[in-house]
Amino acid sequence: METKVQKYLECFHLPLEKLQEISARLKKDFNRGLGKHTHHRAAVKMLPTFVTATPDGTEKGDFLALDLGGTNFRVLHIRVNEDEQRVMKSQNCAIPQEMMVGTGEQLFDHIAACLGEFVNSQDLKGQTLPLGFTFSFPCEQKEIDKSILIRWTKGFNCSGVEGEDVVKLLKEAIHRRGDYDIGSVAMVNDTVGTMMSCGYKDQSCEIGMIIGTGTNACYMEELKNVKRVEGMEVKEGENRRMCINTEWGGFGDDGALKDILTEYDEEVDRTSINPGIHTFEKMISGMYLGEIVRLVLVKLTQEKLLFNGETSKALLTPGTFETRFISEIEKEDKGVENTKKILADLGLTSNAVDLHIVRLICDTISSRSARLCAAALATIVNRIRVNRKLDHLKTTVGVDGAVYRKHPNFSEELQDMVRRLAPQCDINFIVSEDGSGKGAAMVTAVAQRLALQSRLLEDSDGEDDDDEEEEDN
Ligand code: BGC
Protein backbone atom coordinates (compact mmCIF):
# COMPACT_ATOMS: atom_id res chain seq x y z
CA MET A 1 0.00 0.00 0.00
CA GLU A 2 2.68 2.47 1.07
CA THR A 3 4.72 2.01 -2.12
CA LYS A 4 1.62 2.69 -4.19
CA VAL A 5 1.00 5.87 -2.17
CA GLN A 6 4.65 6.89 -2.56
CA LYS A 7 4.21 6.73 -6.33
CA TYR A 8 1.44 9.33 -6.14
CA LEU A 9 3.55 11.56 -3.92
CA GLU A 10 6.70 11.40 -6.07
CA CYS A 11 5.59 14.47 -8.04
CA PHE A 12 6.16 16.60 -4.89
CA HIS A 13 9.75 15.48 -4.27
CA LEU A 14 12.45 18.04 -4.92
CA PRO A 15 16.00 16.72 -4.57
CA LEU A 16 18.92 19.05 -3.85
CA GLU A 17 19.96 19.36 -7.53
CA LYS A 18 16.43 20.39 -8.51
CA LEU A 19 16.42 23.04 -5.78
CA GLN A 20 19.77 24.35 -7.04
CA GLU A 21 18.25 24.61 -10.51
CA ILE A 22 15.22 26.47 -9.14
CA SER A 23 17.48 28.85 -7.23
CA ALA A 24 19.44 29.54 -10.45
CA ARG A 25 16.19 30.38 -12.26
CA LEU A 26 15.12 32.73 -9.48
CA LYS A 27 18.53 34.43 -9.64
CA LYS A 28 17.84 35.30 -13.29
CA ASP A 29 14.37 36.53 -12.39
CA PHE A 30 15.84 38.81 -9.71
CA ASN A 31 18.00 40.49 -12.38
CA ARG A 32 15.04 40.80 -14.69
CA GLY A 33 12.96 42.42 -11.93
CA LEU A 34 15.70 44.93 -11.10
CA GLY A 35 16.53 45.78 -14.73
CA LYS A 36 15.58 49.12 -16.23
CA HIS A 37 14.12 47.67 -19.43
CA THR A 38 13.00 44.26 -18.16
CA HIS A 39 11.14 44.96 -14.92
CA HIS A 40 7.79 45.80 -16.56
CA ARG A 41 7.31 42.24 -17.72
CA ALA A 42 9.14 40.43 -14.87
CA ALA A 43 7.28 37.75 -12.89
CA VAL A 44 9.32 38.53 -9.76
CA LYS A 45 8.69 42.24 -9.31
CA MET A 46 11.70 43.29 -7.12
CA LEU A 47 9.94 46.41 -5.88
CA PRO A 48 11.99 49.33 -4.55
CA THR A 49 10.82 50.31 -1.05
CA PHE A 50 12.62 53.63 -0.54
CA VAL A 51 13.90 52.23 2.75
CA THR A 52 17.60 53.02 2.47
CA ALA A 53 18.73 52.51 6.04
CA THR A 54 18.16 49.98 8.78
CA PRO A 55 17.80 51.16 12.40
CA ASP A 56 20.96 52.36 14.19
CA GLY A 57 19.46 52.14 17.68
CA THR A 58 19.11 55.89 18.24
CA GLU A 59 15.54 56.20 16.97
CA LYS A 60 12.84 57.30 19.38
CA GLY A 61 9.29 58.60 19.70
CA ASP A 62 5.61 57.59 19.73
CA PHE A 63 3.98 56.16 16.63
CA LEU A 64 0.76 54.69 15.40
CA ALA A 65 0.96 51.56 13.27
CA LEU A 66 -1.63 49.91 11.05
CA ASP A 67 -1.07 46.36 9.92
CA LEU A 68 -3.25 45.05 7.09
CA GLY A 69 -2.43 41.81 5.37
CA GLY A 70 -4.79 39.04 6.33
CA THR A 71 -8.28 38.49 7.64
CA ASN A 72 -7.55 40.70 10.64
CA PHE A 73 -5.96 44.02 10.83
CA ARG A 74 -4.27 45.59 13.80
CA VAL A 75 -3.89 49.08 15.13
CA LEU A 76 -0.97 49.71 17.46
CA HIS A 77 0.47 52.50 19.58
CA ILE A 78 4.23 51.99 19.70
CA ARG A 79 6.88 53.74 21.72
CA VAL A 80 10.45 53.53 20.43
CA ASN A 81 13.38 54.47 22.66
CA GLU A 82 17.07 53.58 23.07
CA ASP A 83 16.54 50.06 24.28
CA GLU A 84 13.20 48.87 23.02
CA GLN A 85 10.20 49.18 20.78
CA ARG A 86 7.25 48.81 23.10
CA VAL A 87 3.67 48.10 22.07
CA MET A 88 1.78 50.42 24.44
CA LYS A 89 -1.57 49.14 23.27
CA SER A 90 -2.92 47.25 20.30
CA GLN A 91 -6.30 46.29 18.98
CA ASN A 92 -7.38 43.69 16.43
CA CYS A 93 -10.24 44.44 14.06
CA ALA A 94 -11.83 41.76 11.95
CA ILE A 95 -12.34 42.23 8.24
CA PRO A 96 -15.54 40.46 7.27
CA GLN A 97 -15.28 38.18 4.23
CA GLU A 98 -17.71 40.35 2.19
CA MET A 99 -15.49 43.36 2.80
CA MET A 100 -12.44 41.54 1.38
CA VAL A 101 -14.20 41.44 -1.98
CA GLY A 102 -16.36 44.58 -1.66
CA THR A 103 -15.47 48.14 -2.66
CA GLY A 104 -12.20 49.84 -1.74
CA GLU A 105 -14.13 52.72 -0.19
CA GLN A 106 -15.90 50.37 2.24
CA LEU A 107 -12.58 48.76 3.20
CA PHE A 108 -10.79 52.07 3.86
CA ASP A 109 -13.79 53.54 5.70
CA HIS A 110 -13.71 50.48 7.95
CA ILE A 111 -9.96 50.90 8.57
CA ALA A 112 -10.38 54.61 9.29
CA ALA A 113 -13.24 53.85 11.69
CA CYS A 114 -11.20 51.28 13.65
CA LEU A 115 -8.20 53.61 13.78
CA GLY A 116 -10.49 56.43 14.97
CA GLU A 117 -11.94 54.26 17.71
CA PHE A 118 -8.43 53.32 18.84
CA VAL A 119 -7.11 56.90 18.82
CA ASN A 120 -10.15 57.92 20.85
CA SER A 121 -9.87 55.13 23.39
CA GLN A 122 -6.17 55.84 23.90
CA ASP A 123 -6.61 59.57 24.30
CA LEU A 124 -4.33 60.24 21.35
CA LYS A 125 -6.81 62.40 19.47
CA GLY A 126 -4.99 65.73 19.77
CA GLN A 127 -1.53 64.35 19.03
CA THR A 128 -1.42 63.71 15.23
CA LEU A 129 1.17 60.97 15.62
CA PRO A 130 3.20 59.75 12.64
CA LEU A 131 1.78 56.53 11.23
CA GLY A 132 3.52 53.42 9.91
CA PHE A 133 1.24 51.55 7.54
CA THR A 134 2.06 47.91 6.87
CA PHE A 135 0.18 46.93 3.76
CA SER A 136 1.15 43.39 2.77
CA PHE A 137 0.36 43.33 -0.92
CA PRO A 138 2.54 44.07 -3.96
CA CYS A 139 2.82 47.83 -4.37
CA GLU A 140 4.82 50.01 -6.72
CA GLN A 141 6.25 52.43 -4.22
CA LYS A 142 6.86 55.92 -5.61
CA GLU A 143 8.01 57.46 -2.36
CA ILE A 144 7.88 56.37 1.26
CA ASP A 145 4.31 57.78 1.45
CA LYS A 146 3.08 57.04 -2.04
CA SER A 147 2.41 53.47 -3.01
CA ILE A 148 0.33 52.10 -5.87
CA LEU A 149 -1.31 48.70 -5.43
CA ILE A 150 -0.27 46.45 -8.31
CA ARG A 151 -2.73 43.68 -7.47
CA TRP A 152 -4.53 42.07 -4.60
CA THR A 153 -3.44 38.63 -3.32
CA LYS A 154 -4.44 36.24 -0.50
CA GLY A 155 -8.20 36.31 -1.09
CA PHE A 156 -8.64 40.12 -1.22
CA ASN A 157 -10.25 41.64 -4.28
CA CYS A 158 -11.71 45.07 -3.41
CA SER A 159 -12.75 47.14 -6.38
CA GLY A 160 -11.19 50.51 -7.18
CA VAL A 161 -7.89 49.98 -5.36
CA GLU A 162 -5.58 48.32 -7.92
CA GLY A 163 -3.63 51.07 -9.70
CA GLU A 164 -4.40 53.60 -6.92
CA ASP A 165 -2.23 55.17 -4.21
CA VAL A 166 -3.12 53.32 -1.02
CA VAL A 167 -1.85 56.09 1.30
CA LYS A 168 -4.13 58.56 -0.50
CA LEU A 169 -7.12 56.21 -0.09
CA LEU A 170 -6.40 55.91 3.64
CA LYS A 171 -6.02 59.68 4.11
CA GLU A 172 -9.21 60.36 2.14
CA ALA A 173 -11.12 57.93 4.36
CA ILE A 174 -9.76 59.67 7.50
CA HIS A 175 -10.72 63.07 6.08
CA ARG A 176 -14.22 61.82 5.21
CA ARG A 177 -14.67 61.24 8.94
CA GLY A 178 -13.05 64.51 9.94
CA ASP A 179 -12.85 63.69 13.68
CA TYR A 180 -9.09 63.02 13.98
CA ASP A 181 -5.93 63.40 11.93
CA ILE A 182 -2.59 61.62 11.50
CA GLY A 183 0.95 62.89 10.99
CA SER A 184 3.39 61.80 8.28
CA VAL A 185 2.84 58.31 6.87
CA ALA A 186 5.43 55.66 5.98
CA MET A 187 4.15 52.74 3.98
CA VAL A 188 5.82 49.32 4.24
CA ASN A 189 5.38 45.74 3.19
CA ASP A 190 5.22 43.20 6.09
CA THR A 191 8.58 41.71 5.05
CA VAL A 192 10.16 45.14 5.41
CA GLY A 193 8.48 45.67 8.78
CA THR A 194 9.79 42.31 9.95
CA MET A 195 13.33 43.10 8.82
CA MET A 196 13.24 46.52 10.44
CA SER A 197 11.87 45.34 13.79
CA CYS A 198 14.55 42.63 14.04
CA GLY A 199 17.15 45.11 12.83
CA TYR A 200 16.69 47.07 16.02
CA LYS A 201 18.00 44.11 18.05
CA ASP A 202 20.50 42.77 15.55
CA GLN A 203 21.96 45.31 13.18
CA SER A 204 23.14 42.63 10.77
CA CYS A 205 19.49 41.82 10.01
CA GLU A 206 19.14 42.70 6.34
CA ILE A 207 16.56 40.17 5.16
CA GLY A 208 12.88 39.89 6.14
CA MET A 209 10.85 36.78 5.27
CA ILE A 210 7.18 35.88 5.75
CA ILE A 211 5.74 32.38 5.48
CA GLY A 212 2.15 32.78 6.63
CA THR A 213 -1.09 33.25 4.71
CA GLY A 214 1.16 34.45 1.88
CA THR A 215 4.91 34.30 1.35
CA ASN A 216 7.52 36.87 0.43
CA ALA A 217 10.95 38.26 1.33
CA CYS A 218 12.86 41.53 1.19
CA TYR A 219 16.59 42.28 1.48
CA MET A 220 19.09 45.14 1.30
CA GLU A 221 20.32 45.48 -2.29
CA GLU A 222 23.18 47.67 -3.55
CA LEU A 223 21.57 50.82 -4.91
CA LYS A 224 23.74 50.68 -8.03
CA ASN A 225 21.97 47.43 -9.01
CA VAL A 226 18.51 48.93 -8.69
CA LYS A 227 18.47 50.20 -12.25
CA ARG A 228 14.73 50.71 -12.28
CA VAL A 229 14.78 53.64 -9.84
CA GLU A 230 15.50 56.94 -11.54
CA GLY A 231 17.18 59.87 -9.86
CA MET A 232 19.14 57.94 -7.23
CA GLU A 233 22.59 58.11 -8.76
CA VAL A 234 25.38 56.42 -6.83
CA LYS A 235 28.91 57.76 -6.94
CA GLU A 236 31.78 55.38 -7.70
CA GLY A 237 32.85 53.49 -4.56
CA GLU A 238 29.72 54.45 -2.60
CA ASN A 239 28.00 51.57 -0.76
CA ARG A 240 24.44 52.82 -0.65
CA ARG A 241 21.67 50.27 -0.33
CA MET A 242 17.93 50.08 -0.71
CA CYS A 243 15.57 47.46 0.61
CA ILE A 244 13.93 45.51 -2.21
CA ASN A 245 10.59 43.79 -1.74
CA THR A 246 11.12 40.77 -3.99
CA GLU A 247 7.45 39.62 -4.15
CA TRP A 248 8.86 36.14 -4.76
CA GLY A 249 5.31 34.78 -4.60
CA GLY A 250 5.03 35.72 -8.30
CA PHE A 251 7.91 33.39 -9.28
CA GLY A 252 6.63 30.99 -11.95
CA ASP A 253 3.82 33.25 -13.24
CA ASP A 254 5.62 33.23 -16.62
CA GLY A 255 5.82 29.42 -16.70
CA ALA A 256 9.29 29.15 -15.07
CA LEU A 257 8.06 26.47 -12.64
CA LYS A 258 6.07 24.39 -15.14
CA ASP A 259 8.27 21.33 -14.66
CA ILE A 260 7.54 21.08 -10.93
CA LEU A 261 3.86 22.03 -10.88
CA THR A 262 1.64 19.07 -10.05
CA GLU A 263 -1.95 18.45 -11.12
CA TYR A 264 -2.95 19.47 -7.56
CA ASP A 265 -1.16 22.85 -7.86
CA GLU A 266 -2.90 23.44 -11.16
CA GLU A 267 -6.27 22.71 -9.58
CA VAL A 268 -5.57 25.05 -6.64
CA ASP A 269 -4.65 27.79 -9.11
CA ARG A 270 -7.68 27.18 -11.32
CA THR A 271 -10.11 27.43 -8.44
CA SER A 272 -8.44 30.46 -6.78
CA ILE A 273 -9.76 34.01 -7.18
CA ASN A 274 -6.59 34.97 -9.06
CA PRO A 275 -5.67 32.17 -11.52
CA GLY A 276 -2.20 32.45 -13.07
CA ILE A 277 -1.02 34.81 -10.31
CA HIS A 278 1.39 34.05 -7.45
CA THR A 279 2.30 30.54 -8.61
CA PHE A 280 5.18 30.12 -6.13
CA GLU A 281 3.07 31.39 -3.22
CA LYS A 282 0.37 28.84 -4.06
CA MET A 283 2.89 26.00 -3.55
CA ILE A 284 4.13 27.38 -0.24
CA SER A 285 1.86 29.48 1.89
CA GLY A 286 -0.83 28.87 4.48
CA MET A 287 -3.66 30.02 2.29
CA TYR A 288 -3.10 27.04 -0.02
CA LEU A 289 -1.27 24.15 1.72
CA GLY A 290 -4.40 22.67 3.32
CA GLU A 291 -6.22 22.69 0.00
CA ILE A 292 -3.34 20.87 -1.71
CA VAL A 293 -3.51 18.19 0.99
CA ARG A 294 -7.28 17.92 0.56
CA LEU A 295 -6.95 17.37 -3.18
CA VAL A 296 -4.38 14.60 -2.62
CA LEU A 297 -6.63 12.96 -0.02
CA VAL A 298 -9.54 12.98 -2.47
CA LYS A 299 -7.39 11.50 -5.23
CA LEU A 300 -5.99 8.70 -3.05
CA THR A 301 -9.43 7.89 -1.70
CA GLN A 302 -10.81 7.66 -5.22
CA GLU A 303 -7.89 5.34 -6.04
CA LYS A 304 -9.00 3.21 -3.03
CA LEU A 305 -5.74 3.79 -1.20
CA LEU A 306 -7.43 5.58 1.72
CA PHE A 307 -10.57 5.31 3.89
CA ASN A 308 -11.71 2.14 2.17
CA GLY A 309 -12.38 4.19 -0.94
CA GLU A 310 -15.09 6.25 0.77
CA THR A 311 -14.95 10.03 0.64
CA SER A 312 -17.26 12.34 2.63
CA LYS A 313 -19.23 15.46 1.80
CA ALA A 314 -16.82 17.56 3.86
CA LEU A 315 -13.73 16.10 2.18
CA LEU A 316 -15.20 16.89 -1.22
CA THR A 317 -15.82 20.54 -0.23
CA PRO A 318 -13.03 23.02 -1.09
CA GLY A 319 -11.40 24.75 1.87
CA THR A 320 -12.46 22.24 4.53
CA PHE A 321 -8.95 20.92 5.23
CA GLU A 322 -7.34 23.88 6.99
CA THR A 323 -3.60 24.45 6.84
CA ARG A 324 -3.36 24.37 10.64
CA PHE A 325 -4.47 20.70 10.49
CA ILE A 326 -1.13 19.90 8.82
CA SER A 327 0.78 21.17 11.87
CA GLU A 328 -1.55 19.35 14.24
CA ILE A 329 -1.19 16.06 12.33
CA GLU A 330 2.60 16.30 12.15
CA LYS A 331 3.05 16.95 15.89
CA GLU A 332 5.50 14.49 17.43
CA ASP A 333 3.48 13.50 20.50
CA LYS A 334 -0.18 14.21 19.81
CA GLY A 335 -0.09 13.68 16.02
CA VAL A 336 -2.00 10.39 15.87
CA GLU A 337 -4.69 11.56 18.27
CA ASN A 338 -5.08 14.84 16.36
CA THR A 339 -5.30 13.04 13.01
CA LYS A 340 -8.08 10.77 14.27
CA LYS A 341 -10.10 13.75 15.49
CA ILE A 342 -9.57 15.84 12.34
CA LEU A 343 -10.58 12.95 10.05
CA ALA A 344 -13.61 12.11 12.17
CA ASP A 345 -14.71 15.78 12.06
CA LEU A 346 -14.47 15.56 8.28
CA GLY A 347 -16.81 12.56 8.37
CA LEU A 348 -14.13 10.01 7.46
CA THR A 349 -13.64 6.56 8.95
CA SER A 350 -9.95 5.75 9.30
CA ASN A 351 -7.79 2.81 10.36
CA ALA A 352 -4.15 2.80 11.51
CA VAL A 353 -2.81 2.61 7.95
CA ASP A 354 -4.96 5.59 6.91
CA LEU A 355 -3.57 7.62 9.83
CA HIS A 356 -0.03 6.83 8.72
CA ILE A 357 -0.73 7.74 5.09
CA VAL A 358 -2.45 11.02 5.97
CA ARG A 359 0.59 12.03 8.00
CA LEU A 360 2.88 11.09 5.12
CA ILE A 361 0.86 13.31 2.78
CA CYS A 362 1.00 16.28 5.18
CA ASP A 363 4.72 15.76 5.64
CA THR A 364 5.28 15.66 1.87
CA ILE A 365 3.39 18.89 1.23
CA SER A 366 4.89 20.87 4.13
CA SER A 367 8.35 19.61 3.33
CA ARG A 368 8.07 20.72 -0.31
CA SER A 369 7.01 24.14 0.92
CA ALA A 370 10.02 24.41 3.28
CA ARG A 371 12.43 23.28 0.56
CA LEU A 372 11.08 25.76 -1.99
CA CYS A 373 11.42 28.59 0.54
CA ALA A 374 14.95 27.43 1.25
CA ALA A 375 15.84 27.61 -2.45
CA ALA A 376 14.47 31.14 -2.66
CA LEU A 377 16.19 32.31 0.52
CA ALA A 378 19.47 30.76 -0.66
CA THR A 379 19.17 32.87 -3.82
CA ILE A 380 19.00 36.00 -1.66
CA VAL A 381 21.89 35.22 0.68
CA ASN A 382 24.10 34.11 -2.20
CA ARG A 383 23.25 37.32 -4.00
CA ILE A 384 24.14 39.51 -1.01
CA ARG A 385 27.47 37.64 -0.65
CA VAL A 386 28.38 38.11 -4.31
CA ASN A 387 27.21 41.76 -4.25
CA ARG A 388 29.66 42.45 -1.42
CA LYS A 389 32.46 40.38 -3.02
CA LEU A 390 32.77 38.22 0.09
CA ASP A 391 34.01 34.62 0.37
CA HIS A 392 31.89 34.22 3.43
CA LEU A 393 28.76 36.12 4.50
CA LYS A 394 27.38 36.31 8.01
CA THR A 395 23.85 37.59 8.05
CA THR A 396 20.53 37.58 9.91
CA VAL A 397 17.03 36.92 8.62
CA GLY A 398 13.99 38.24 10.49
CA VAL A 399 11.08 35.82 10.00
CA ASP A 400 7.37 35.79 10.69
CA GLY A 401 4.23 33.92 9.61
CA ALA A 402 2.13 31.11 11.05
CA VAL A 403 3.51 28.37 8.78
CA TYR A 404 7.07 29.08 9.95
CA ARG A 405 6.11 29.61 13.58
CA LYS A 406 3.53 26.92 14.17
CA HIS A 407 4.56 23.91 12.10
CA PRO A 408 6.57 21.47 14.22
CA ASN A 409 9.57 21.05 11.91
CA PHE A 410 9.17 23.51 9.04
CA SER A 411 11.77 25.98 10.33
CA GLU A 412 14.30 23.22 10.96
CA GLU A 413 13.91 21.75 7.48
CA LEU A 414 14.09 25.19 5.86
CA GLN A 415 17.24 26.14 7.78
CA ASP A 416 19.02 22.83 7.06
CA MET A 417 18.26 23.14 3.39
CA VAL A 418 19.38 26.79 3.07
CA ARG A 419 22.67 25.86 4.70
CA ARG A 420 23.18 23.14 2.10
CA LEU A 421 22.22 25.43 -0.75
CA ALA A 422 24.33 28.37 0.46
CA PRO A 423 27.34 26.77 2.18
CA GLN A 424 29.36 30.00 2.14
CA CYS A 425 26.76 31.84 4.19
CA ASP A 426 26.34 31.73 7.93
CA ILE A 427 22.70 32.61 8.56
CA ASN A 428 21.07 33.51 11.83
CA PHE A 429 17.26 33.35 12.03
CA ILE A 430 15.27 35.56 14.39
CA VAL A 431 11.52 35.15 14.77
CA SER A 432 10.03 38.59 14.90
CA GLU A 433 7.55 39.45 17.62
CA ASP A 434 4.83 41.84 16.45
CA GLY A 435 7.26 42.49 13.63
CA SER A 436 5.17 44.06 10.95
CA GLY A 437 3.50 46.55 13.29
CA LYS A 438 6.65 47.49 15.20
CA GLY A 439 8.61 47.49 11.97
CA ALA A 440 6.25 50.00 10.39
CA ALA A 441 6.89 52.27 13.38
CA MET A 442 10.63 51.66 12.93
CA VAL A 443 10.54 52.66 9.26
CA THR A 444 8.75 55.85 10.25
CA ALA A 445 11.29 56.42 13.04
CA VAL A 446 14.28 55.82 10.75
CA ALA A 447 12.77 58.16 8.13
CA GLN A 448 12.43 60.84 10.83
CA ARG A 449 16.01 60.26 12.06
CA LEU A 450 17.35 60.60 8.50
CA ALA A 451 15.28 63.75 7.91
CA LEU A 452 16.56 65.22 11.17
CA GLN A 453 20.16 64.30 10.34
CA SER A 454 19.93 65.88 6.92
CA ARG A 455 18.33 69.01 8.45
CA LEU A 456 21.21 69.20 10.95
CA LEU A 457 23.63 68.73 8.08
CA GLU A 458 21.94 71.51 6.12
CA ASP A 459 22.03 73.74 9.20
CA SER A 460 25.73 73.15 9.69
CA ASP A 461 26.28 73.78 5.94
CA GLY A 462 24.29 76.95 6.55
CA GLU A 463 26.66 77.95 9.35
CA ASP A 464 29.61 77.47 6.98
CA ASP A 465 27.82 79.62 4.41
CA ASP A 466 27.38 82.32 7.04
CA ASP A 467 31.09 82.09 7.82
CA GLU A 468 31.93 82.45 4.16
CA GLU A 469 29.62 85.37 3.85
CA GLU A 470 31.27 87.01 6.78
CA GLU A 471 34.68 86.48 5.25
CA ASP A 472 33.44 87.85 1.93
CA ASN A 473 32.23 90.89 3.70
C1 BGC B 1 1.95 39.59 -0.82
C2 BGC B 1 3.20 40.19 -0.21
C3 BGC B 1 3.28 39.83 1.27
C4 BGC B 1 3.13 38.34 1.46
C5 BGC B 1 3.20 37.92 2.93
C6 BGC B 1 1.84 38.11 -0.51
O7 BGC B 1 0.63 37.62 -0.99
O8 BGC B 1 1.96 39.77 -2.22
O9 BGC B 1 3.25 41.57 -0.39
O10 BGC B 1 4.51 40.27 1.79
O11 BGC B 1 1.91 37.91 0.89
O12 BGC B 1 2.18 38.51 3.66
Residue 473's pLDDT band, with cuts at 50, 70 and 90, is: very low
β partners of residue 242:
221
Q: What is the distance in angstroms between the CA of the first residue and the CA of the last residue of the chain?
A: 97
Name the residue type at position 2.
E
Residues facing residue 425 across a β-bridge: 393
Q: What is the mean pLDDT of residues 194-204?
A: 84
pLDDT of residue 465: 43
**pLDDT above 80 for 355:** yes
Q: Does residue 334 have an active-site annotation?
A: no
Q: How far apart are CA 424 and CA 368, in angstroms?
A: 23
Between CA 290 and CA 437 the distance in angstroms is 27
**Mean pLDDT calculated for residue range 292-297:** 98
Local confidence band at 466 (pLDDT 50, 70, 90 cut-offs): very low
Beta-bridge mates of residue 47: 245
Give per-residue pLDDT as tens, 204-226: 899 999 999 999 999 999 998 98
Q: Categorize the per-residue pLDDT at 471 as very low, low, confident or very high, splitting at 50, 70 and 90.
A: very low
Give the rounded percent of residues in the chain with a pLDDT score beyond 70: 94
Backbone φ and ψ of 105, nearest 5°: -60, -45
pLDDT for the residue 70? 72
Instruction: Give the pLDDT confidence of 387-406 residue by residue, as tens digits.
Output: 999 999 999 999 999 999 99
Mutate to test the pocket of ligand 1, among 49, 152, 189, 274 (most ligand atoms within 8 A of CB): 189
58 CA → ligand 1 middle, Å: 29
Tell which one of 74, 147, 154 to mutate to probe ligand 1, the residue whose CB is within 8 A of the most ligand atoms.
154
With a 6 Å cutoff on the Cβ, whether 286 touches ligand 1 is: no
* Average pLDDT estimate for 109-121: 95
Ligand 1 centroid to residue 357 C-alpha, Å: 32
Tell me the whole-structure pTM to 2 decimals: 0.91
The Å distance, Cα 200 to ligand 1 centre, comes to 22
CA 153–ligand 1 middle distance (angstroms): 7
3-state SS, residue 279: helix
Which is the catalytic residue, given 109, 145, 154, 253? 154
Is 138 a pocket residue for ligand 1 (Cβ < 6 Å)?
Answer: yes
Atom of ligand 1 nearest to the CA of 137: 9
Indicate if ligand 1 lies below 6 Å from the C-beta of 193: no
Whether 85 lines ligand 1, by a CB cut-off of 6 Å, is no
β-pairing, 61-68 vs 131-135, is parallel
Among residues 201, 361, 218, 197, the alpha carbon closest in space to that of 290 is found at: 361
Are the C-beta atoms of residues 144 and 138 closer than 8 Å to each other?
Answer: no
pLDDT over 90 at 439, yes or no: no
Nearest protein Cα to ligand 1, atom 8: 137
| Alpha-carbon distances, residue 271 vs 90, 213, 264, 321 (angstroms) | 36, 17, 11, 15
Q: Which residue has a Cα nearest atom 2 of ligand 1?
A: 137
Q: How confident is the model at residue 60 (pLDDT cuts 50, 70, 90)?
A: confident
The structural domains of the chain, ordered by start, are 1-46+246-431 (3.40.367.20), 50-188+433-447 (3.30.420.40)
Question: Coil, strand or helix: which one is 44?
Answer: coil
Confidence class for position 459, pLDDT limits 50, 70, 90: low
Kindly tell me if the per-residue pLDDT of 306 is higher than 50.
yes
pLDDT for the residue numbered 34: 94
The larger pLDDT score, comparing residue 333 to residue 72, is at 333
In the residue annotation, 426 being an active-site residue is answered as: no
Mean pLDDT of the chain: 91
Q: What is the spatial distance between Cα 359 and Cα 2, in angstroms, rounded to a whole number?
A: 12
339 pLDDT above the threshold of 80: yes
Written as one letter, the residue type at 138 is P
CB contact at 8 A, 249 and 280: yes
